[in-house]
Amino acid sequence: MPVEIKMPALSPTMEEGTLAKWLVKEGDAVKSGDILAEIETDKATMEFEAVDEGTIGKLLVAEGTDNVKVGTVIATLAGEGEDAGAPAQASDGPPPQSAASASPGGTAEVERPSDQGTEDAGPSPKQDTGTKQLTQAVERTSVADPEVPAGTEMVKLTVREALRDAMAEEMRRDPRVFVMGEEVAQYQGAYKVTQGLLDEFGDKRVIDTPITEYGFAGVGSGAAMGGLRPVVEFMTFNFALQAIDHIINSAAKTNYMSGGQMRCPMVFRGPNGAASRVAAQHSQNFGPWYASVPGLIVIAPYDAADAKGLLKAAIRTEDPVVFLENELMYGRSFEVPKLDDYVLPIGKARIVRPGKDVTVVSYSIGVGVALEAAEQLAGEGVDAEVIDLRTLRPLDRETVLKSLAKTNRMVVVEEGWPTCSISSEVMAICMEDGFDDLDAPATRVTDEDVPLPYAANLEKLALIDAAKVVAAVRKVCYR
């Protein structure tokens, strides 16, 4: 029976792709290692190799087709003595559900095209993981932004594009702004966030560094002290642990230690938080770590509009900023106001869903989970107000407390560990300054207090989801 060749997942974040070009035609004999096609993923154009020997039967998806879901059968391959023309078992019907749900996540260094080959027909290759529950909320929910004036023209942008646009706009505006980090220039960004910047700004301002986080974080900090405006990209914030000395001891403390005469205006940015199936050393939310340090600004946006408006503000401010992105969100699209200069205020939370019965506070990817839970709760007659903190330091106590005064109930949702966390902090604020407004003890929904496991089922158990938020809300509402 012919082997089915399926649309491969060529990166952990890829859910679908473009079949850019076939490099074989029907009837061609192929052997293992031959390049069958070029496929465009969310990050790059990659070559797709044959694993099995045989003769190409039918090409089921024409070249140039966009949005081909991972797992879709794109061709058939007949083995020796088989009829190349015979139809494969499943033709071009919809791919198996679980294959289509290939979830985003992972890091660039696991991106190895040759690791991925044709799949045997059979059970779906990609397992359902815990990160899917974090991102599916994006499609199912929408974000309210009362601050954008009615009638503003909106454009749909991915978070990745919004971040790139923010950097490009600020680089056009201020010649002191430059970007440095691993793979930011020629490779166009390990996650393609800096795509196109090298072409526009050249290698003086878009600088590939060696893999030396401690060193280039220090070089960036020194350049900021010398009057420049560095944007230092960490491939992920997990690697910034090697550089945390400069973020805290050099960047955050300089203005205070110098009595206000030496500044360190710069941005440390990159993906933070759990990614998909990359396990403990590549999955951690450092928001609470940095938010505990006086002298730093810490921003963790949720959607593309905030990513753009807040990154522009971060590049402009005179203070050092830790800008925590989320890899799972890079490929997600949102409406972004089409304004010449969309800059958001640092330190202001926003109410992304107004409600009256309970306040659900979150930030970064947790906002989507909170919004999804709010939708479900609406069906049960519970009207949840969802607040996106946006900035973790300084934290907008006022917006949190005002909402608590209205709803009298508080749940904090955080994709991160519970101990000494942002949720701990928000609950402490409620105790200190909102105690009289509480009709029930404030509670929180966080990741489990364990290193993030690799196994798909365990990862799913470790991470937050909407069901856990719904349960917590019911608890504080005594329902």
Partner 1 sequence: MAKAVSPAPAPPATPNRERPSEPQPYSASKEELLQFYRDMLLIRRFEEKAGQLYGLGLIGGFCHLYIGQEAVAVGLQSALSEKDSVITGYRDHGHMLLCRIPPADVMAELTGRQAGISKGKGGSMHMFSVEHKFYGGHGIVGAQVSLGTGLAFSHKYNEDGGVCLAYFGDGAANQGQVYESFNMAELWKLPIIYVIENNQYAMGTSVNRASAEDQLYRRGESFRIPGIQVDGMDVLACRGAAETALEWVRAGKGPVILEMKTYRYRGHSMSDPAKYRSREEVQSVREKSDPIERLKPLLDQAGIKEDQLKAVEQEIRKIVNEAADFSEQTPEPEASELYTDVLVERY
CB of 446 to partner 1, least distance (A): 26
Q: How is the chain split among helix, strand and coil, in percent rounded to 5?
A: 30, 20, 45
CB of 198 to partner 1, least distance (A): 16
Nearer to partner 1, 256 or 435 (CB): 256
Q: Which two tokens stand for residue 63?
A: 């070249």
φ/ψ (deg, to 5) at 30: -130, 150
Among the listed residues 161, 182, 183, 213, the single catalytic one is: 213
Q: Which two tokens stand for residue 123?
A: 């059970």
Known catalytic membership, residue 325? no
247 binds partner 1 (CB under 8 A): no
Nearer to partner 1, 245 or 383 (CB): 245
CB of 129 to partner 1, least distance (A): 35
**Which of 211-219, 374-382, 411-419, 437-445 is the region at the interface with partner 1 (rule: CB under 8 A)?**
211-219
CB of 216 to partner 1, least distance (A): 7
Is 431 exposed, middle or buried (CB count within 10 Å of its CB: 0-12, 13-18, 19+)?
Answer: exposed
404 binds partner 1 (CB under 8 A): no
209 binds partner 1 (CB under 8 A): yes
**Which of 38-46, 49-57, 216-224, 462-470 is the region at the interface with partner 1 (rule: CB under 8 A)?**
216-224
61 binds partner 1 (CB under 8 A): no
The region that residue 365 occupies, defined by phi over 0 for left and psi between -120 and 50 for alpha, beta otherwise, is alpha
Residue spans of alpha helices (H) in 197-325: 197-201, 213-225, 244-245, 254-257, 287-291, 304-316
Residues 429, 434, 435, 437, CA torsion sign: negative
Among the listed residues 282, 327, 414, 415, the single catalytic one is: 282
Inter-residue long-range contacts of 313-317, CB under 8 Å, 24+ positions, other chains counted: 313/343, 313/344, 313/345, 313/346, 314/267, 314/269, 314/346, 315/166, 315/167, 315/170, 315/174, 315/177, 315/229, 315/231, 315/267, 316/170, 316/174, 316/343, 317/265, 317/346
Which of 81, 226, 379, 381 touches partner 1 (CB under 8 A)? 226
Q: Which of residues 366-395 bind partner 1 (CB under 8 A)?
A: 391, 394
CB of 180 to partner 1, least distance (A): 9
- Residues 390-410 as b/e (b if ≥16 CB within 10 A, e otherwise) read bbbbebbbebbbbbbeebbbb
**Which of 10-18, 49-57, 258-266, 397-405 is the region at the interface with partner 1 (rule: CB under 8 A)?**
258-266
Nearer to partner 1, 219 or 458 (CB): 219
Q: Which of residues 301-360 bind partner 1 (CB under 8 A)?
A: 317-319, 345-347
280 binds partner 1 (CB under 8 A): no
258 binds partner 1 (CB under 8 A): yes
255 binds partner 1 (CB under 8 A): yes
**Which of 32-40, 123-131, 132-140, 259-267 is the region at the interface with partner 1 (rule: CB under 8 A)?**
259-267
91 binds partner 1 (CB under 8 A): no
Radius of gyration of the chain (CA): 24
**Which of 126-134, 194-202, 213-221, 276-284 is the region at the interface with partner 1 (rule: CB under 8 A)?**
213-221
259 binds partner 1 (CB under 8 A): yes
Tell me how far CA of residue 206 lies from CA of 154, 198, 310, 348, in angstroms.
29, 6, 21, 30
Q: Which amino acid is at 109?
A: E
Known catalytic membership, residue 153? no
Say if residues 129 and 279 touch (Cβ distance below 8 Å): no
Question: CB neighbours (10 Å) of residue 412?
Answer: 31
Say if residues 38 and 47 touch (Cβ distance below 8 Å): yes
Give the C-alpha separation, 445 to 176, whole Å. Answer: 42
Which of 250, 276, 362, 399 touches partner 1 (CB under 8 A)? 250
294 binds partner 1 (CB under 8 A): yes
147 binds partner 1 (CB under 8 A): no
Give the C-alpha separation, 80 to 55, whole Å. Answer: 8
32 binds partner 1 (CB under 8 A): no
Give the C-alpha separation, 170 to 205, whole Å. Answer: 12
Question: CB neighbours (10 Å) of residue 319?
Answer: 16
221 binds partner 1 (CB under 8 A): yes
CB of 298 to partner 1, least distance (A): 11
Count the residues of the shown chain that bind partner 1, applying the rule CB under 8 A. 47
Say if residues 385 and 355 touch (Cβ distance below 8 Å): yes
Which of 113, 125, 196, 295 touches partner 1 (CB under 8 A)? 295
Q: Which residue, 36, 212, 185, 197, is CA-closest to 118?
A: 36
219 binds partner 1 (CB under 8 A): yes
45 binds partner 1 (CB under 8 A): no
254 binds partner 1 (CB under 8 A): yes
* Residues marked as catalytic: 213, 282
Q: Can you give the binding site for partner 1, defined by CB under 8 A?
A: 178, 204, 209-210, 212, 214-228, 245-246, 249-250, 253-263, 265, 294-295, 297, 317-319, 345-347, 391, 394
